[in-house]
Structures are given as C-alpha cells and as structure tokens.
Chain A
Amino acid sequence: MCQKKIHFACLIFLYTTFLYGQELSGYVTDTLNAPLPNANVIAFSQGDKGSLTYSVSDEKGRYRLVLQKNTIYEIKVSYMGFVPQVFVYEPEKKITSYNFALTPSNELLEGVVVTYQEPIVFKKDTTTYRVEMFATGKERKLHEQLEKLPNVEVDSYGNVSFKGKNVSTLLIENKTFFGGGTQLGVKNIPADAVEKIQFIENYTKVDFLKEVTDSKDIALNIQLKEDKKKFIFGDLQAGYGNKKSHLLHSALFLYSPELSLSYLGDVNNFGKSTFSQEEATRFQGGVSSFIDKSHRTNNLSSFTNDNREVTQSESLLNAINLNLKLNEKTDVSGYVIFHKNDEKVFRKNRYHYLQSDIFEERQHKKQSENNLALFNFEFEFLPKVGTKWIYSVFSNISNSTTETNILSDYQNHNQQVKGHQMPSDVILKQYVEKHQSHHAKLKTTLVINHSLEKKDLKNQWISNEPIFLGIIPLLDESSYDISKFTVVENHQLNWLYKQYRTINNRNHIYISVGDNIEKSNLKTVHYQLIDNKKIHYFSDGKLSGETDYLLNDAFMNFEYKFRIGKWTNRIVNSFHFYYLIHQQFDKETNMNRFLYEPSFFSEYELSTSESIEGSYSYGNEFPKVNELSEFYSLQEFNTLSKGNRLLRNEKHHILNLSYIKSNMYRNYFLGLMFNFTQKSNPISYEITSENVNQIYSVVQLDNPERFWNTNIWLNKKMQNFRFLFSSYVSGFYYNRVTNAERDIITHHKQQVSFGLKSYLSKKYEFTIRYSHQFNQMKTIVKDNFQNQRVFVQSKIVPIKNVTFESIYRWDNLIKEKSKNYSDEWNVSMLYQKEGSPLSLELKAYNLLNAKKSYQKTNSDYLISEQEIYLMYRTVLFSVSYKL
C-alpha cells in the first residue's frame, strides 16, 4: 500500500516540475553593489490572474524564482528605504538571471506609502507574514493558515513552532489571549479575520529589559483585518448525528483598542477534544517567570485526555478572555474557564511482571466525572516611563469522581476490584513584579510570589481477595473494603531581587538575591470498612500518619555576560544555602547544605540565520514531602508505595548543544540538537514484587543515571512542496533494585519521520507523513518493539462551493511475533456558497468504525500492552453561521 502512495507522490512531483520549469535567479543589491538581504522578490503572473510566486533574498542578496512555463511575469522587488523596481519577464527571451540594483528612496518614514504589500517583512526580531499571499482563502481556522507559512509548523494539538522553536505566547492585536497558550487560539480564531501573522523572537513583556533578559521566547501576534475590529465576529455551529451525538460550538470575538472580549463555548458528546494536556499546563498561571522553581501540578490531566480513546464522553466548556484598558497607565487581562467532562474508558491490559515472570490479564473499566473552574487576572501598571508593575492572581478549583472496575486474571487467580476515587484540589497563586530602568547602566527587578495548594484525595477499593495480606492487617470479610484518605497542604513563598548592571555594550553583570520557602503537610489514613458502616483503623502505625516538611533555599547569583564579536557568553555562579527539616513518627530530621551551582551558556552567531549554542548547568534537587514520608500509601489494588526519610539532595549535570540554520534562498530550515543529563545520586525506587503485587520504596542510589538524546529536523520547500524530515535517537541508562537484586537497565529509542506537504493549487492540497519508531530495552530480559504511523490528509475542492477533507491515520504496533494495527479515518464535506455566512457540513469521525487501538510500554519490571477501546463511528450534520 505504501509503495503505491510513494509512486503517486512521485507522479505528482514530476507533473509539477514539468509545469514549473523555468528558473530565474540573480542578486538584489544597492547602487554601490552591497547585497540587500531579506528583500521580497515577487513574480505576478500575467496569464493566470492573481497567481504569484515569491522569493526572499538571502545574506548575499541572492534570490531564486521558479516560474511557470510560457507565462509572462511582472517581477517586483521591494526593500525598505529603497525605490521598488519592476522587471517584466518574457519567456521567449530565455533569460535565466537578472540582477536588481535598487536606489535609495526619499521616503523618510518607514512603512508609509507602499504601492503593494510584501509577503514577508523582516524587521529586527519581528517577521511579519501577509496571510493572503500564502493562503488559498479556503481556510476556516487560524491553524490552517499557519501551516502554509514558511518556517512555521503546527502539530495536531495546536502547538505552533517557528524555525523549529516552540511559540510560547499567543497575542491578538498585541494582547495576550487566554494566558498566551496557542491551542485554544489556533483552533478557534476564524481565518477570514486574520490580516497579518507576526512572529516576535526574543519576546519579553517588559520592553526596557529586553537587552538584559536574554529571552528565548517567541510570541505569535495576530493582526486582525480593519473591518473586523469594533464588531463582533466569530462562528456559531450546531450539529446533530447518529446515536444522539450533538455539538454546539461558538467562538465569538470583540476587539477594540480599549476593550477586547472573547468567548469560547463548546458542548459535545462524542469525544471532540476541547483542549489537551499541554494546553492545560499552560493554564498553570500565577507564577512569575523570574521564579524558576517548578510549581507544576498535574491535576488537570484528567480533564484533557485526548478524547477519541474513550467509549463515551460528554464535555462542556465555557471560556472567556478579557483585555481592558482601565486608564492610560493600567491594563487588565484575564480569563475564566469552566470545564466539565464525563467519560467512560474501557481497556484490556496484558502485563508481564519480569521478576516473577507472571502474566496478568486485566480488564479496566473507568467512568469519571470531572469539574474544573479556573481564572487568572493580570494587572499591568506603568506609573512612568521605565517603571512597570505586574500583579497576577490565579486560582484553580477542581474535583472529580471516578468509578473503576477491574478484573484481574493471573495464574488461575481471579481478582475483582471496584474502585472509587474522589480527588479535589484548590490552588491560589499570586505574584507581584516591579521592574525599573534607573538609567542606561542599571535596571532592577523585584518579585514576590506566593502559592497555596490544598489537595484531598479519597480512594476506595472493594476487592474479593485480600490486598497486601502481610502488610495490611485486614479483618476477614467476604469482600474487603479498603479506603485511603490523603490530604496535602502546600505553601510556597518566593522572593527575588535582581540588579542588571551594564558595564558597557559588551559586558554585563547581573546580581540577584532571594529565597524560596516551601512548607508542606501530608496526612495519610488507611482504614477498612466493615459491614459497610463500621470503620476499622489499622493498628499498624506505618499505615496512617502525618509528615511535616519545610525546605528553605536562600540564594545569591552572580551572572557575568560578555560578548566578543558574534560570540556571547554567560557565566552564572549561584550560591545556595538549603535547609530541610521534616518530621514524622514524632521524629525530626534536618539537613543543611551550602552548595555552589554554576552554569554556563555560550552562543555563536555565524550569521543572522545561522547559530550554534551550548550550555551546561549543575544543580541540586531536594526530595519532596511524598518521597520522604515513610508511611505506606496504597496506589492501586496491587501497588503500595513508601518514602524514605534518609534521602539527600540529587545532583544533576545538564549539557545542551544545538545548531540552527535557515536559508531563505534555498528555502530550507535545519536544526540539530543534543542533550545529555546525568544524575549522580538519583532518587529512585526499589521494588519488592510478589506475584502481581509490588511495593515501591524510595531509595537513593550511588550509581549515576544517564540520559541523552539527539534531534534532527529539516524542512525544505521545493516549488509547491514542503518536505519534512525529522529524527530522534535517545538512550537511557540506570540502575534499579528489584527483590534485592541490582540490575542495570538500558533503554534505546530511535525514531525517523518523513513528510510531504503540498499546496498544488487552490483546489487541492495534501499532507503525507510516515514515522517509524524502534524501542529496545535490556534488563534481565530483552524486549523490543516498533511503532509505525502513516498519516494522510487531503483537501479537495471538486466543484465550486464544496470542500472535501479527509484525514486518515494508520498505526501499527510490531512486537516479537505479532503485528497489531489500528486506523482511524475522519471525512468531512463542507458546502458554503461564496459570500454567504452560512455553511453546511457533513462529517464522519471514525468512518471505518475501528474498535480499538494498541499501545505498548516497557519498564525495568513490567511490560504492559494495552488495547484501548475507541469511540464508535459518529456521523454528524452541522450548520455554521459566520458573524
């Protein structure tokens, strides 16, 4: 099957090279013969009206155009501050090269009076694309337009990357949109509202700190069409289909200079994802970017499972984003999100316990109800030029109820476990930042950050067989009803004061002092319910108890940044005084450490489009409260975990190297990356396993843990094709103690993917991707497996007003003896009369009605294979109305 596809692709390729035969190249220079890089060279076809090809001159001023045969072109060159030039290309003259020498213009103010619009404008850190030059006009949402821009990639979750680097902030009209995450925006912003798309490199919220913060962030800014401003625009969609599947979706936007409001609403019951895991972590606001200690929590994961891998799902999303100018000096931005989702999951798992060599077959049914409410408000106050205050408050309240039903079968044992989980989580985080520029040589930042989190988790297991017989002193019953109740309270207070001192243009010194305090309390209680009413607390002291925890990290950093020509270096000397105290079983343990943590960063800019970067850092990670708490905690019916009070700090070394090159003349983009991490005394765990039961005890090993990976990606445009290649290779080496035996474990992974994208005409576009992953693990046994994926997406306009789209995905899991493949095919047909706000769509999800997909993971003690049951075929008819 694959072979045929390749033949097909080759055919199209040949066909187009035949059509686009003529090449024209040359130089763009000024009158003194100095090259003008990044000049737009646009060829307007005189035959096929409106069709155009463009090229952007490189560092040497070179440009190259591939033109259609037998067509007259008007070729225009424009460059800021120069008079545009026009050259009429006549095919019969058989010219293959032409040089443009531009004369400086009298036009004194930038960007005024441009006779025609340039497709790409480069200005310092900002690249601006004029969307209509790249898009076909058939796009419905922003992500479809982004995919067509050179140097831009969008993944299926809606994460955007520019020149291979992830975009971290989404702005609409220079204002943050839902805290800056890209996913909600790219999937909801209507394409016809977008005028220009801008990528801002080295993005920072505080203008006057730009030269000292060395920000690597990239922001994506959407500029709206003039006529979309001041009016409400957006989409409303309603749909109904088989098995009572329904959909209501709305995305409404209002933008004016003083106020902007956006509303996203979605109700559906067939697993159409509203936002994913990555997007959810974006909403972990309320932490200043200057406090780099991780404040991450994972409670949102349950709201965001990618949702076609469920058998039933109902979700409701209401989200509002607001930007408001209170007065000349104050801006407010914020968002509120409510999300509710009910789902059912059915999986069949097969586990291989390597130590005991036992196979377990497990059926897993899960039904859950999740609720989430979160908000974030940020106030920016500029009392005068060179001073900026930011106050941000974030809160997140969530709870969920999960019912699980597990049937476990191993060695003629049948264990049936009913589970009930009720986690609830309350988070409140806030920070104040004050940034000030005193003069050209002194800038300061002050940050105070506070966060509070309270997590309650109630877990209940009802089993027909005893659970952890030797450890949990169960009372004999016909069925065993065991509960665990955990409460975690966590407070963090951080402050930081930083001075940026500029010695001269080439030498900077930054000094900072600060403190991070983390205080936690963890309570765990296990008990058995007898006759459904009487609570029996276990007498064993190790099953219930309380741990108090306090970690203080007082630090001082000396940072020296210097530049030698194109070479920038940064040396950070960081001195930390750590103090850790924890109390459990009425015993106190404390630890003091004075540690020196250096890091080094170096960047060499070969040219504006080519750079090499390297960095090294050494650091210490202190154990968390749950790793120190020696009380047992029942994680699953067959899993028990336990911390270790004797843990010390983990030391880690991290090395990163990267090379990035983009070439506008040859139209390619190349990236290479290498990463190495070593933990000298890793906090790991020891496993005691008996049958299918395992006890994890946290231990600290003396043998180092090592991890490395390399990444290569190449993106090349040839005529109307975009060729993508990427490769990933990684190795992971560590020690694990299982049943008192120490093993060395190695994991290797290699992945290679190819892709071809084409926008052949306004009527036909397609994407083909193939990726192949190899996994090898070596421990007491060897285990290898491979994953293959084929992805084909195509969009056709067969007749006027009708768009046909098909997305096909084929996955294959290759194990030692067997192959398991699964596929999913989504098809849609859209009818929209030109100029009409109304459109009709018939869309089928999982057209082939595939029942399940396959997954495999392997670790040092367990190999698990999963069959995931999928959502049934859904055929939905919907009506959309464009405002």
Chain B
Amino acid sequence: MKKTIIFLLILSVFSVRAQKKGKITYELAITKNTEKKKANLSDIFKVEDNALLLNKTEFEVLFDEESAYFPPLLFEDENNTAISHFPLDEEYFISNKEKKAYSPAEYKDEEVLGTISNYKWKTHKESKTIGKFTVYKATTQDYEREITAWYAPELPYSYGPIDIFGLPGLILEVYIKDEILYAYRFKSLEFNDRYKVKPIPDLKKLDEKEMDEYYKDYYRNYYKNLKERLKK
C-alpha cells in the first residue's frame, strides 16, 4: 500500500512537472572593466563601447522538463560589433537529461549541432535570496571567462541564461569576468502551458574535439578573410 502511495505520489509529481512549461527572463548588465589590458582586436572594433549600448537588453529562455530553448535576438543596428560577444544572436538548446547545450552550426557542408559539455562547477555554501528564491553560489573557469552563477535548488531544472547551465537548480544570476565585466540578471519567472519550447532538432551532434577543430578552422578562415578585407 505504502509503495503504491509513494508510486502514485511520484507519478503525480512527474505528471505535474511534465506539463509545466516555464519562461525565465534575464537582463544583461555590463560594467566597464577598468583593469588595463593589452590592446587587441576587440579594441579596434570598440567591442566594450558597443557592449555598453546593449546594457539592460532583456532576453528569455523557454523551458520544460526535457529541454530549454534560447531564441536568438534580432537587432536593427547591424553595426554593433558586440552582439555576438554575449552571444545574443545565436540559438541555444539545453538538454536537462544530458546536461549538455547545443547550438546549430555548419560543418563540412552539413547542418549539425555543436556541443557544449557541462562546466566543471565548484559549488559553495554561500547563499542569498533573489526574489522569493534562495540561491547558492557556484563558480567555474571557462577559457578566459571567470563565471560565478547563483542557482535555486528549489527549481529543479539544469538550465540557465544562453549557454550557461548544468547546476542542480535553475540559474537565476550569472556574473562573468572577461575582457568585459558582465552579468545576466534575473527579471522574472513565469509558468504557462502555452509557452512553445522549441525541441532540440534531430541533427548530427559534434563532440568537443570536433567542435575545437571546427572553431580553429573558423578562426583561421575569419582572420584570413579579415586580413584580406583590411588590405582592401
């Protein structure tokens, strides 16, 4: 009897959660990095100045039990060189089960999904409240990026803003230290069954190693083309 009740309880919890579709809204917050750095390409394109124009940009992540979807933003001002830095103009999918993120890309004349494996998170005991949620601190290093995330274990989804994910609870706030200091701040969280969460497309998935090659190739091409352009 007890077992049946527990089973039913679990089932009901699952069925309720299975129907639950959520939308979390974040806001981009950018601060000028006052530390002196070496001059690099970003300076030529005034990435930081352009980034400041994007301050307070709002974006949404839609999710359900299976996956989360970040729809890319459309920008009218094509001359802003910082958009791709955040990267607000790219599409992202996060799988709850696999704890992996995917972004569509082209690879060897084929449309594929690039994979981002979970970050090596280090969890901390520090906590604070955001809205009505208690959030806990987690940190990680991703290449140049020093990431600090605040996640809410009471929201059992391994999602977060854009390409940040993989903690035992929904990430409500992220601080990133890069060439630019920026944060994805929590604005609102709503649940509604009518939200349309675009499922992860059924395409060939490239693993990290292949993605690394892809990026190397990408930048090799990029700089080559850039040089040619600058020559003109």
| Contact indicator B221/A385 (Cβ below 8 Å) | no
Contacts of A106 in B (CB 8 A): 106-109
Complex Cα–Cα for A207 and B218 (A): 28
Nearest chain-A residue to B46 (Cβ)? A385
Instruction: Tell me if B110 and A441 are in contact (CB < 8 A).
Output: no
Verify B58–A505 contact, CB threshold 8 A. Answer: yes
Inter-chain contact B52/A385, CB cutoff 8 Å: yes
Interface string of B25-58 (1 = CB under 8 A from A): 0001000000000000000001001101111111
Residue contact A109 to B222, C-beta cutoff 8 Å: yes
Q: Are A440 and B53 in contact (CB under 8 A)?
A: yes
Considering the chains assembled together, what is the distance between the CA atoms of A438 and B57 in angstroms?
Answer: 12
For A207, list chain B residues within 8 Å (CB). 77-79
A112→B229 CA distance, assembly (Å): 10
Q: Most chain-B Cβ atoms within 10 A of its Cβ — which of A440, A504, A505? A: A440
Closest to B79 in A: A207
A31 touching B56 in the complex, CB below 8 Å, given contacts A104-B106, A208-B77: no
B106/A105 in contact, CB under 8 A: yes
A210 on interface, CB distance cutoff 8 Å:
yes
Q: Across the interface, do A386 and B53 meet the contact criterion of CB distance under 8 Å?
A: yes
- Does A439 touch B at the CB level, under 8 Å? yes
Quote the shortest CB–CB distance from B221 to chain A (angstroms). 5
Residues of A within 8 A of B221 (CB): 108-109
The A752-790 residues at the B interface (CB cut-off 8 A) are none
- Interface membership of A639, Cβ < 8 A: no
Q: Are B49 and A386 in contact (CB under 8 A)?
A: yes
Give chain A nearest CB distance to B101 CB in angstroms: 20
Report B-chain residues with C-beta under 8 Å of the C-beta of A385: 46, 49-50, 52-53
Interface residues on B, range: 20 to 34
Contact of B110 with A437 in the complex, beta carbons under 8 Å: no
Q: How far, in angstroms, from A547 to B86 measured CA to CA in the complex?
A: 63
The answer for the CA separation of A391 and B228 in the assembled complex, in Å, is 36
Query: Using a Cβ–Cβ cut-off of 8 Å, how many residues does chain A contribute to the interface with B?
Result: 28
Which residue of chain B has its CB nearest to the CB of A103?
Answer: B109
Nearest Cβ in chain A — how far from B129, in angstroms?
25
Q: Which of A104, A208, A385, A386 has the most CB of B within 10 A?
A: A385
* Contact, CB under 8 Å: B110 / A104: yes
The answer to whether B109 and A210 have CB atoms under 8 Å apart is: no
| A112, B223: Cα distance in complex, Å | 13
B110 and A210 contact, CB distance less than 8 A: no
* CB-nearest residue of chain A to B54: A440
| A286 to B: closest C-beta gap in Å | 27
Shortest beta-carbon distance from A29 to chain B in Å: 13
Contact, CB under 8 Å: A440 / B225: no
Closest CB in chain B relative to A658 CB, distance in Å: 23
Least Cβ distance of A206 to chain B in Å? 10
For the complex, is B76 an interface residue (Cβ under 8 Å from A)? yes
Interface presence of A623 (CB below 8 A): no
Q: In the assembled complex, which residues on chain B have CB atoms less than 8 Å from the CB atom of A104?
A: 106, 109-111
**How far apart are B190's CB and chain A's nearest CB, in angstroms?**
13
Question: Could you give, for residues 101-124 of chain A, a 1 whenever the CB lies within 8 Å of some chain B CB and a 0 otherwise?
Answer: 001111011001000000000001
Interface membership of A244, Cβ < 8 A: no
Closest residue to A212 on the B side, CB-wise?
A: B76
Q: How long is the Cα–Cα vector from A105 to B107 in the complex, in angstroms?
A: 8
Assembled-state Cα–Cα distance A103/B108 (Å): 10
Across the interface, which residues of A come within 8 angstroms of B54, CB to CB? Answer: 439-440
A211 interfacial by beta-carbon distance below 8 Å: yes
Q: Does A81 contact B (CB under 8 A)?
A: yes
Chain B 46-77: CB-based contact to A (< 8 A → 1; otherwise 0): 10011011111110000000000000010111
A441 to B56, Cβ gap below 8 A? yes
Q: What separation, in Å, do the CA atoms of A109 and B224 have in the docked complex?
A: 10
Query: A31-B111, A109-B222 given as contacts; is B49 within 8 A of A440 (CB)?
Result: no
**Contact code string A84-109 (vs B, CB < 8 Å = 1, else 0):** 00000000000000000001111011
Return the chain A residue nearest B112 by Cβ. A104
* 99-129 of chain B: CB within 8 A of chain A: 106-111
CA distance A505 to B57 in the complex (A): 9
Contacts of B28 in A (CB 8 A): 440
> Is A493 positioned at the interface, with any CB of B under 8 Å from its CB?
no
Please report which residues of chain A, range 11-53, place their CB below 8 angstroms from some CB of chain B when the two chains form the complex.
Answer: 30-32
Which residues of chain B have C-beta atoms less than 8 A from A210's C-beta?
76-77
**B residues within 8 A CB of A442?**
56
Q: B58 and A437: CB pair below 8 A?
A: no
Q: What is the CA–CA distance of A438 and B53 in the complex, to the nearest angstrom?
A: 6
Q: How far is the CA of A211 from the CA of B54 in the complex (A)?
A: 13
Binary contact track A412-448/B, C-beta < 8 Å → 1, others 0:
0000000000000000000000000111111000000
A54–B46 CA distance with the chains assembled, in angstroms? 41
Complex CA distance for A32 and B203, rounded to whole angstroms: 10
| Given A106-B107, A108-B221, 10 extra CB contacts under 8 A | A103-B110, A108-B218, A109-B225, A112-B225, A207-B79, A211-B76, A385-B46, A385-B49, A386-B53, A440-B53
Please name 27 pairs of A and B residues whose Cβ atoms are closer than 8 Å in the assembled complex, sorted by A. A31-B111, A32-B111, A103-B110, A104-B106, A104-B109, A106-B107, A106-B108, A106-B109, A108-B222, A109-B221, A109-B225, A112-B225, A207-B77, A207-B78, A207-B79, A208-B77, A211-B75, A211-B76, A385-B49, A385-B50, A386-B49, A386-B52, A438-B55, A439-B52, A440-B56, A440-B57, A441-B56
* Chain B positions near chain A (C-beta within 8 angstroms): 28, 46, 49-50, 52-58, 73, 75-80, 106-111, 218, 221-222, 225, 228
Which 9 interchain pairs have the tightest Cβ spacing? A439-B55, A385-B49, A211-B76, A440-B57, A210-B76, A441-B56, A104-B106, A439-B56, A440-B56
